[in-house]
Amino acid sequence: MAGTRAVYAAATDFFTALVRQVPDDRWDDPGLGEWTVRDLIGHTSRSLTTVSTYLKAPAQREDVADAVDYYVRMHEYSAGLGAAAIVERGRQAGRDLGDDPVAAIEALALRVQTELAAVEDPLIEVIGGLGIRLSSYLPTRTFELAVHGLDIGRAVGVDFEPPVEVLTEATALAARIGVALGHGPTVLRALTGRGGLPPGFSVV
């Protein structure tokens, strides 16, 4: 658990530092898909706010075995939720950052780290009412911070990569999700130069 928290903390620090580098005139630029940069950063900030929120929602049972199982379940859940709902949730998260989004992100990062320091490894209730250990949930947030951090950097032209330990955990998790979804041979061939990924391929 200590290692998981340390990597999540590194991902949180990376995201906060990245947001500080976003030029003032780029927040309304295209971010990702239908999102502006503000929307994208708002969506990414949910990897802070959800941890804070879910720590206040204890679960009675453990439904989700690990981070891979979480994404397998979310793959089906997101399909049912619909793209429009996901887009709007990101836009609302962007609006929630207010007039000083950088300060808002800094406050969120400080709050979640303070709250994490006060708990051990509780069962928490996440989206869909599913119960999962905090130690299993945090790698999913590290993954989101890494992936969308790269999205943000590309959108605003900032060459700023996540720390090695964050990239290592996120990349390994992506491969494990691919295997769990039945794409193991495709992912392995691509990673070893024996084939490419199909257009639009994604493990999330």
Residue ranges, the chain, pLDDT below 70: 1-2, 79-82
Burial 55-71 (b: 16+ CB within 10 A, else e): beeebeeebbebbbbbb
pLDDT at 1: 59
pLDDT tens digit sequence for 109-151: 999 999 999 999 999 999 889 999 999 999 999 999 999 999 9
- Taking the model in full, what pTM does it have? 0.95
**Rounded distance between C-alpha atoms, residue 174 and residue 150, angstroms:** 15
Strands (E), the chain: 30-32, 35-36, 123-125, 131-133
Phi, psi of 149 (to 5 degrees): -60, -45
Which domains are assigned to the chain? 2-191 (1.20.120.450)
The token duo for 145 is 């911070």
pLDDT at 81: 65
